[in-house]
Amino acid sequence: MAEIALSTERLCKHFGDVEVLRDISVDIPAGTTNCILGPSGSGKSTFLRCLNWLEEPTSGAITVAGVRLQQRSGKPAPRRELALARGKMAMVFQNFALWPHLTVLENIVESPVHVLHRPRDEVRAEGLALLERVGLAAKADVYPHTLSGGQKQRVAICRALAMRPQIVLFDEPTSALDPEMVGEVLAVMRELAAGGLTMLIVTHEMAFARDVADTVIFMDQGQVREISPPSVFFTNPGTERAQRFLQRFM
């Protein structure tokens, strides 16, 4: 059995009376690429946000690299465990969320220096190597507003990786991009998958999910309806909901 990088147990989230996540239990083996698919409004973003406690779950538990956070009603999660768990994860957003007043390299270096207290010189060298990997070494000293959307997202991926996370969460990383820039970002993610990074990716890029994912997690109406390898999910989905969802992409 592969080591489990992240697991949830009966994770639930309500906004007032609205039940947005219902009993989500998943195990994510280390080193796997997991694509979360599902219609708009099915709870995919809320699920990712609950994993790093950007959104506090209503009930349930999350275990990240051996650190378990159990939601107890009315009580905040213990600070130490929360910081430990969050430190294992990094997130890449649809809209990049780069700091406009910092250069590309400064965007990457900021958190490892200020949050992890690592030496700036060492982190700069690592940041440059990351930029090299995504083909943006020449952009280290420019400001984000001079970059294309695809370049910004590649920088955002470098910034996430500079925190040396064990798991990277992506929330529709290519949805805000012009179509001609989607490929360059997916190519970087494909390479990360091949390198064995553990990833959870909310996406509508069906070809990417089919080719790159180890596992497809299909969500609908706040529940995980199906967990299967893409070879099964895309040819013979086990639920009628998934069949209907896939028909829209055919």
- Nearer to Mg ion by Cβ, of 49 and 139: the residue is 49
Instruction: State the nearest-atom distance from the C-beta of 46 to ligand ADP, in Å.
Output: 3
Rule CB under 5 A: say whether 42 interacts with Mg ion. Answer: no
Which of 3-11, 25-33, 44-52, 123-131 is the region at the interface with Mg ion (rule: CB under 5 A)?
Answer: 44-52
Instruction: State the nearest-atom distance from the C-beta of 40 to Mg ion, in Å.
Output: 7
What mask, x for binding ligand ADP by CB under 6 A, covers residues 7 to 46?
--------x--x-x-----------------x-xxxxxxx
Residue nearest to Mg ion (CB): 45
Candidates 237, 245, 155; CA nearest to 204 is 245
166-187 in b/e burial notation, b at 16+ Cβ within 10 A? bbbbbbbbbeebeeebbebbbe
Residue count, binding to ligand ADP (CB under 6 A): 11
Residues in the chain: 250
Instruction: State the nearest-atom distance from the C-beta of 224 to ligand ADP, in Å.
Output: 12
Instruction: State the nearest-atom distance from the C-beta of 21 to ligand ADP, in Å.
Output: 8
- Nearer to ligand ADP by Cβ, of 17 and 141: the residue is 17
Give the one entry of ligand ADP, Mg ion, none that residue 152 binds, where binding means its C-beta sits below a cut-off of 5 to 8 angstroms depending on kind. Answer: none
- Nearer to ligand ADP by Cβ, of 163 and 233: the residue is 233
Residues 43 to 102: which contact ligand ADP by CB under 6 A? 43-46
- Nearer to ligand ADP by Cβ, of 22 and 118: the residue is 22
Rule CB under 5 A: say whether 45 interacts with Mg ion. Answer: yes
Rule CB under 6 A: say whether 241 interacts with ligand ADP. Answer: no
- Nearer to Mg ion by Cβ, of 44 and 154: the residue is 44
- 3-state SS string for the chain: CCCEEEEEEEEEEEECCEEEEEEEEEEEECCCEEEEECCCCCCHHHHHHHHCCCCCCCEEEEEECCEEEEEECCECCCHHHHHHHHHCEEEECCCCCCCCCCCHHHHHHHHHHHCCCCCHHHHHHHHHHHHHHCCCHHHCCCCHHHCCHHHHHHHHHHHHHCCCCCEEEEECCCCCCCHHHHHHHHHHHHHHHHCCCEEEEECCCHHHHHHHCCEEEEEECCEEEEEECHHHHCCCCCCHHHHHHHHCCC
Query: Where does this chain bind ligand ADP (CB under 6 A)?
Result: 15, 18, 20, 38, 40-46
